[in-house]
Amino acid sequence: AQSVAQPEDQVNVAEGNPLTVKCTYSVSGNPYLFWYVQYPNRGLQFLLKYITGDNLVKGSYGFEAEFNKSQTSFHLKKPSALVSDSALYFCAVHTNFNKFYFGSGTKLNVKP
């Protein structure tokens, strides 16, 4: 069965510190990988994606993600967190069959 796992319900980090939000996946074939962010009472917004090529992908608002094929992981990172980064983050996988699978979400709390 296809699945996406975000093992942490919540991540707490101090402003200015680096942050990591973890994602692992289990799908057949070579999936496309995404990160989306959701602010309160809003729809999801695209952050970045991995299709092929360099394992380190850079996206919006200073976020980046590292693809690791052997570990089937796609962790989201940012060198220096901002309070405004506090939100709900979703990892997603798109399969060859035009279906999308999302993780359960990780709430990021950045404290001043």
Partner 1 sequence: EAQVTQNPRYLITVTGKKLTVTCSQNMNHEYMSWYRQDPGLGLRQIYYSMNVEVTDKGDVPEGYKVSRKEKRNFPLILESPSPNQTSLYFCASSSPNPGRSSGANVLTFGAGSRLTVL
Give the binding range for partner 1 (CB under 8 A) out of 10-18, 20-28, 44-52, 70-78. 44-52
Cα separation, 112 vs 14, in Å, equals 6
Burial 23-35 (b: 16+ CB within 10 A, else e): bbbebeeebebbb
- The correct pick among 22, 44, 73, 109 for binding partner 1 (CB under 8 A) is 44
In terms of C-beta density within 10 A (0-12 exposed, 13-18 middle, 19 or more buried), how is residue 82 classed? middle
Q: How far is the CB of 85 from partner 1 (least distance, A)?
A: 19
Give the binding range for partner 1 (CB under 8 A) out of 11-19, 48-56, 69-77, 78-86. 48-56
Site for partner 1 in 3-42 (CB under 8 A): 4, 6, 9, 32, 34, 36, 41-42
Using CB under 8 A as the criterion, which residues of the chain lie in contact with partner 1 when the complex forms? Answer: 4, 6, 9, 32, 34, 36, 41-46, 49, 51-52, 90, 92, 94, 96, 98-105
